[in-house]
Every structure is written in C-alpha cells, then in structure tokens.
C-alpha cells in the first residue's frame, strides 16, 4: 500500500472484514459491500451542518447531504477516521463524537449507475470552528435546525442524498430531539 492510495475495507454480508480494495476502483456499477461512516456535525446552538457535494464528485455531485462521509482506513478506529475526515473535508476539529445510528446500512444507485453499497455507522459530533470546506468535497454548506432539515427533506427528497433521507427517517422524532447533541 502506497501513501497516495486510499483503501477501503471490504465486508461480507454479515459485516465481517474480507480484505481491502483501492477506493478509486471500488465505486462502480457493481460496488462490493464495504465499510464507511457518516457524520452529522452540530454547533453550540443545536443546528446541524448540511453540505452540498462538490460538482466534481464522482457520485451524487451537487446533491445536499449530511455534514460529511468517508471510509475508515484498514485498521483505523471509526472515531479517528471521523475526526480525520472532518478536518480534510470541512477544515474543522470536532468533539463529542458518538454513535447516532451504529447499525446503519444502505445501497443506492446514482443516476450515472454508480452504486453505493455500505455498512455505514452514523455519528454525531460538535464543533465550534468556522467551516472552511475543501472545494473538491463541498460546493456549499448551511447550518439548519433539525426541524428545518426534516421539513426540507420531506418537501424535496430528490434534492438530498439517499443516505441522508434514510438516516433522517431513523433520527429521534422532534419530541426526542433533545437527545441530539
């Protein structure tokens, strides 16, 4: 493995690691099941950070989604991978990283035919940093109250990533929103 090659962990249907593959070759029309993560970043006011994927992204370009996603490197702890990607994609440090939907899994097909096929634990985190996103990852970003995000996704689910739509269906209901960071 070279320093410039990013690897993902391939998984069996039961979540057992089966090996690794070059990330650049994994996302195709026949994507194997692999390990990923999503993260929803909250600010001190309880707002959640929503990002719009860069137009140069291979899958779901220009689509609004959760704060950020990524893949842990082989042997990397999930929480370390989440912190690494927060810095890489958004230029922020995060704290209070905790599992939000630890058993989340999905498969979705992009309009181009590219498949996402992931066991993808979902985390929440908090930041006090100003967002300074990498332009190759994020085109735009906005802070929304969780109820505003729910309303937007309900009104126009096609404008959002399929994983975000599915994740929001599993978030605590508004009456339990105090459980969010």
Query: Active-site positions?
Result: 69, 118
Contacts of range 109-116, beta carbons closer than 8 Å, 24 or more positions apart: 110/59, 110/60, 112/59, 113/29, 114/27, 114/28, 114/29, 114/31, 114/58, 114/59, 115/27, 115/28, 115/29, 115/30, 115/31, 116/27, 116/31, 116/59, 116/162, 116/163
- Assess contact for 69 and 120: CB atoms under 8 A: yes
Backbone dihedral angles phi then psi of residue 163, each to the nearest 5 degrees: -70, -35
| Helices 146-155 & 162-170 angle (0-180, nearest 10) | 130
16's tokens: 């057992």
Backbone phi, psi, residue 119, to 5°: -90, 115
């Amino acid at each position: 493995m070279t320093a410039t090659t990013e690897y993902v962990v391939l998984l069996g249907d039961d979540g057992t690691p089966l090996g690794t593959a070059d990330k650049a070759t994994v996302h195709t029309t026949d994507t194997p099941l692999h390990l990923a993560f999503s993260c929803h970043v909250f600010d001190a006011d309880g707002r959640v950070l929503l990002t719009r994927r860069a137009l140069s992204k291979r899958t779901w370009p220009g689509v609004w989604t959760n704060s950020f996603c990524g893949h842990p490197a082989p042997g990397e702890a999930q929480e370390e991978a989440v912190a690494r990607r927060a810095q890489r994609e958004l230029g922020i440090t995060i704290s209070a990283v905790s599992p939000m939907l630890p058993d989340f899994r999905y498969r979705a097909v992009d309009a181009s035919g590219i498949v996402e096929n992931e066991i993808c634990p979902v985390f929440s985190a908090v930041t006090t940093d100003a967002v300074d996103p990498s332009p190759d990852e994020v085109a735009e970003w906005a802070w929304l109250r969780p109820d505003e995000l729910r309303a937007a996704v309900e009104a126009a689910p096609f404008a959002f990533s399929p994983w975000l739509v599915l994740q929001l269906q599993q978030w605590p209901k508004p009456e339990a929103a105090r459980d969010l960071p």
